[in-house]
């Protein structure tokens, strides 16, 4: 089995996951406050209290990291496809791929660290 099939299948799967996660995101951000869906403090879903309430839940911390992962993979793989269609030389194509992999891993690492830090801070804040 070639890598093309593998990467494309995961690209599609990431797209579907992204659709679901973005749906959840939109639901919480736009309706969460008014119906108190994952937003128990007041009518603003993006208020500090509500954000901290969600951050304190492991489900949301994992969801943030998952959304970051699938978003980065889907977006960067799509960008790579567009760039490689410019009929780049093999060496340039490899460099582009390596660069995007590094950017993706870097952003994923940084974002995951931030999401988990917010999670631990929110838990500590809740206890304090």
Partner 1 sequence: MAESNKIVNFHVTRYNPEKDVKPYIQTYKVEVTDGMTVLDGLHWIKEHLDPTLVWRYSCRMGICGSCGMLINGSPTLACNTQISHLGGMDITVGPLPNFEIIRDLVPDLASMFDKHASVKPNIIRDEADLVSRQGEFYQSPEQLEEFLQFTFCIKCGCCMAACPTLATDVRYLGPMPLTALQRYNTDTRDEGFDIRAKIAGGDGGAFSCHYAGECSRVCPKGVDPAKAIQLLKRKLVLDYLHLASKKQPCKKLEGPGHGKLLPNMNPPARTVVQDAPAETNK
Where along the sequence are the contacts to partner 1 (CB under 8 A)?
1-6, 8-9, 12, 81, 84-87
The Cα 55–Cα 74 span in angstroms is 24
For the bound state, the minimum distance from the C-beta of residue 31 to partner 1, rounded and expressed in Å, comes to 34
The Cα 81–Cα 14 span in angstroms is 15
For the bound state, the minimum distance from the C-beta of residue 93 to partner 1, rounded and expressed in Å, comes to 8
Nearer Cβ to partner 1 (59/87): 87
For the bound state, the minimum distance from the C-beta of residue 7 to partner 1, rounded and expressed in Å, comes to 8
Nearer Cβ to partner 1 (9/58): 9
The Cα 79–Cα 35 span in angstroms is 37
For the bound state, the minimum distance from the C-beta of residue 18 to partner 1, rounded and expressed in Å, comes to 18
Nearer Cβ to partner 1 (6/30): 6
The Cα 11–Cα 14 span in angstroms is 5
Nearer Cβ to partner 1 (10/53): 10
Exposure string of 15-48, with b = 16+ CB inside 10 Å and e = fewer, is: eebbeebeebeeebeeebbeeeebbeeeeebeee
């Amino acid at each position: 089995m070639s890598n093309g099939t593998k990467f494309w299948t995961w690209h599609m799967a990431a797209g579907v996951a992204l659709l679901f996660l973005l749906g959840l995101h939109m639901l919480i951000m736009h309706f969460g406050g008014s119906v108190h869906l994952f937003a128990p403090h007041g009518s603003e879903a993006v208020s500090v209290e509500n954000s901290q309430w969600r951050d304190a839940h492991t489900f949301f911390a994992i969801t943030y990291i998952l959304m970051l992962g699938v978003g980065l993979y889907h977006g960067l793989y799509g960008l790579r496809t567009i760039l490689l269609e410019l009929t780049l030389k093999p060496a340039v194509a490899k460099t582009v791929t390596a660069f995007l992999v590094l950017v993706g891993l870097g952003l994923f690492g940084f974002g995951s660290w931030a999401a988990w830090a917010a999670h631990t801070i929110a838990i500590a804040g809740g206890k304090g």
